[in-house]
Amino acid sequence: MDVPKEIDSVVWNEEKKSWITKKIHVEEYHGFTECRYCQKPMSHNVKINGEFKVIYTKCGCSKSD
Ligand SMILES: [Zn+2]
């Protein structure tokens, strides 16, 4: 499996009151959780700046914007 170095993460922006896409630089990759509907990655378990985080991405069925 290819280990992603960068992931387009979807984060909530409180000022804009909307979801924005933010490029995350991944230090260590520890797998993902797949969407139960489209089987595409929905969240990734990664290490960023020495901290373990779960970051969210747009899966195949969340294309509404
Ligand atoms: Zn999905």
Residue pair 49/27 in contact by the 8 Å Cβ criterion: yes
pLDDT digits 0-9 by tens, 3-43: 889 999 999 999 999 999 999 999 999 999 999 999 999 99
Read off the pTM: 0.79
Q: What is the dihedral of CA 21, 25, 30, 34, to 10 degrees?
A: 20
4 Cα: distance to centroid of ligand 1 (angstroms): 19
What is the distance of C-alpha 41 from the center of its chain? 8
Question: Both tokens of residue 12?
Answer: 């909530």
1 Cα: distance to centroid of ligand 1 (angstroms): 20
34 Cα: distance to centroid of ligand 1 (angstroms): 8
